[in-house]
Amino acid sequence: MSKEEAQRKLDSLLIENVDLKQRKQLIELELDMMKHKRLGVPEVFTPNMWLEILHLKNFNQRRITYTFWFKKELKSSLDLKKKSQKKEERKQPELELNLPDHKYGLKNNTLFLRIYDQTIDSFHNGRVVSQIPFIPKIVFDCSYDEHMTLKELSSCVKQMVLSIKYNREHPSPLNIYLCNAIESSPLIQLLHQWIPTMYDCSFPLNITPKSYIDVFGKKNLVYLTPHCRNTLEAFDEDKVYIIGALVDKGNSLPLSLAKAKKEGIAMAALPLDKYMKFGSGSGKNLTLNQVISIMIDLRHTKDWLTALTHVPTRKLMAQREAKAKRNLSQFLLDATNNSKEIKPEITKLKELLQSYSRSNLRKHR
């Protein structure tokens, strides 16, 4: 919402709810204390920011949001500084340069055809648009705005932009739909800031405020959710796969599972446990761009092992064990170098490390 609308809403909430007004005063004291300690806190608080921060339950959530806004504000100030520097540089007179033979002195022109970024974008867009009638469809469900904070909304939009970019440049792209995409929603407005041309007819993206049920019907829909027991065996080109446009960095609730059950839609999860082993403590939640990259490569190669290379290796057991082993070896080396006499505890740790390596070697054999 605009600044004026947010201010009116904030004023009405503070008048109607006395507890909310007291919470605002406590948060103001909290901000002053954090500023005094020189912690990462934004200098300017807009009414939209107050509307979000007043509904966060605990200090940890507020601290994470403060840090996010502080970094965003810092980046904006640095961008303004760079722009002003470039403006000053353009005002300075141009110096004569000793240019190579294949370049001309007039504005540093070359003999070769210059390909602009806009030309490359038009090429990728035209290639995907020409294939739209013949390629399978995949849907982003954009109906989870109320379940995300401003930081999570920003992360969601970035992941959607990466998904569209990967799909556009892939040799076997998919036809991406944004369903439940209301133009006034925060997600779509933020996405429009990232992709100003997304409403153009030449851009390979279908945006509709309608539900995917109204567009495609229930018969061929499959909702991809990690909380489902049914696993996806292969890519079916007759099906329309749905990905929830949701980033939840707090409590991961099965919102997509509940929605698919309520609407009576078939569900499936990616067979991650079947093809790879995850380390203890590593979450199996993937980002939107990782999920859509897996689906695109699965359709292209029909091989799960190739498609699942998009899963970050830091989540896998082998990678985590190797990292733990390196850390332990470095700890033992530092402890040995820093002490004149090797303590019995260090000797015991070395023996455990050697036995662990031998047991792993026998397993691989």
What is the residue type of 31?
Answer: L
Residue 236 to residue 240: CA distance in whole angstroms: 8
pLDDT tens per residue across span 209-260: 999 999 998 889 999 998 888 899 999 999 999 999 998 876 678 888 999 9
Q: How far is CA 339 from CA 326, 332, 342, 344, in A?
A: 20, 11, 7, 12
Q: Which amino acid is at 30?
A: E
Q: Alpha-carbon distance 298 to 306, whole Å?
A: 8
What CATH number is given for 117-311 in this structure?
3.40.1280.30
AA identity, residue 84? S
Percent share of the chain, pLDDT over 90: 31
Query: What is the distance between the alpha carbons of residues 102 and 81, in angstroms, rounded to a whole number?
Result: 35
Confidence of residue 34 (pLDDT cuts 50, 70, 90): confident
**Sign of CA pseudo-dihedral 141, 146, 147, 153:** positive
The domain limits of the chain are 3-76, 117-311, 316-364
The tens digit of pLDDT for each residue in 56-83 reads: 878 888 888 888 888 888 988 888 888 8
Asked if residue 27 lies in contact with residue 14, where contact means CB atoms within 8 angstroms, the answer is no
The 3-class SS string of 154-205 reads HHHHHHHHHHHHHHHHCCCCCEEEEECCCCCCHHHHHHHHHCCCCCCCCCCC
Give SS3 for 76.
helix
DSSP single-letter state for residue 224: E
119-126: list long-range contacts, CB under 8 Å, 24+ apart.
Answer: 122/202, 124/168, 124/169, 125/168, 125/202, 125/203, 125/204, 126/202
Helix, strand, coil percentages in the chain from 3-state DSSP, rounded to 5: 55, 10, 35
Q: Is the pLDDT of residue 363 over 50?
A: no
Element (H, E) at 354: helix 344-364
What is the reported pTM? 0.69
Please tell me the distance from the alpha carbon of residue 70 to that of residue 61, in angstroms, as a whole number.
Answer: 14
